[in-house]
Amino acid sequence: MFGAYGHTGRFVVAELAARGFVPVLSGRHAQTLEELAHEQGLEARVASVDDPASLDRALAGTAAVINCAGPFASTIGPVIEAALRAKIPYLDVAAELEANLDTFAHYRERARDAGAVIVPAMAFFGGLGDLLATAAMGDWTEADEAHIAYALSNWHPTAGTRLSGAVSRERRGNHRLRYSGGQWEHRTDAAPTLEWTFPEPMGPRPVIGEFTMADVVTVTQHLSIPDVTTYMSAEAARDVADPHTPTPTAADESGRSSQTFLVDVVLRSGGAERRATAGGHDIYAVTAPLVTEALVRILTGRTKSVGVVSAGEIFDAPDFLHALNPHITFDLHPQKQNA
């Protein structure tokens, strides 16, 4: 577990332990790491992305590595390289678009040739939307468009989210990204405000359209869909943009906040429409069962491919989503034929 002491990392450590794993905690802040290790009764191995030998020592004798340390633009490359040297699977929870794109671009051939497994964005953003889109596709081999809408009751960002967002904005400059016509577009106009009709009882809600998140990267890597758009509930978008929004506050003994979410995925092909939805609590906490379930399936051979792969590409998407109960509720809606 690299970045074990971060907000999301702590949830992942707890979930790993609950599933019978013995996590080896790693990161560059020795004191914070040692405190967490003492609290959990686990081993700590200090490592830095600037010191490849320290990463090799951290990964020695482990079955896989999960990277929870952002900003991921700085950590993904060194930790993947260490995983390749150690010949173990690599997973991360990155939501940084540019970092996700870099992972697929830079490591796809190397990982495939080595028979290695690298799963980026195995988290709420990236993994969950991709699994839902793949499940909704069913027997379709292609679709015209995919729409992934998030309804968050609020979005109190962690310090890590803010830092990762700042890194992405610096790399992107004054542009925003949109995926249309099978390619990435750099846009300078403002993202539109729209209304999205979520399943009942939520109903119509204002959303920011083209609020491009990691799902657009993961979905387009393996599903033949030329137009993929993500949307964010307007209130949550304002929360995360406001520098004064506080960090998450624990609402239960596990540290989970009171935040609720619904992810609504709609695919369209010709006159047909398919839909899948998932709901739950706390986008940071729910990343833990997502990445842990992925790890279990990789280590037990319940995978469909190797290389740099999206969640929906490597796993049986409907089965995976059902396995997340009770952390996430999942529904596949009947196929609809548009008029």
Q: State the pLDDT at residue 130.
A: 98
CA distance 118 to 32: 28
Q: State the pLDDT at residue 124.
A: 98
Answer whether 164's CB lies under 8 Å from 70's CB.
yes
Q: What is the CA radius of gyration of the chain?
A: 19
Q: State the pLDDT at residue 315.
A: 98
pLDDT in tens, the chain (339 residues): 999 999 999 999 999 999 999 999 999 999 999 999 999 999 999 999 999 999 999 999 999 999 999 999 999 999 999 999 999 999 999 999 999 999 999 999 999 999 999 999 999 999 999 999 999 999 999 999 999 999 999 999 999 999 999 998 888 888 999 999 999 999 999 999 999 999 988 899 999 999 999 999 999 999 999 999 999 999 999 999 999 999 999 999 999 999 999 999 999 999 999 999 999 999 999 999 999 999 999 999 999 999 999 999 999 999 999 999 999 999 998 787 765
Answer whether 120's CB lies under 8 Å from 79's CB.
no
- CATH topology for the 127-282+320-337 domain: Dihydrodipicolinate Reductase; domain 2 (3.30.360)
**Sequence-distant contacts of 174-183: CB under 8 A, at least 24 apart:** 176/210, 176/212, 177/97, 177/212, 177/216, 178/210, 178/212, 178/229, 179/212, 179/216, 179/220, 179/227, 179/228, 179/229, 180/226, 180/227, 180/229, 181/226, 181/227, 182/226
Q: State the pLDDT at residue 200.
A: 84
Q: State the pLDDT at residue 205.
A: 96
- Token readout for 243 is 């520098």
Q: Where are the domains of the chain?
A: 7-119, 127-282+320-337
Q: Do domains 7-119 and 127-282+320-337 have the same CATH topology?
A: no
List the CATH code of the domain at 7-119.
Answer: 3.40.50.720
| Residue appearing with tokens 């952390």 | 327
Q: State the pLDDT at residue 333.
A: 87
Amino acid 153 reads: S
Q: State the pLDDT at residue 338.
A: 61
Against a cut of 0.95, is the pTM above it? yes
Q: State the pLDDT at residue 179.
A: 98
Rounded-to-10 torsion of CA 158, 160, 161, 165:
150
Question: Of 318, 263, 314, 253, whose CA–CA distance to 287 is shortest?
Answer: 263
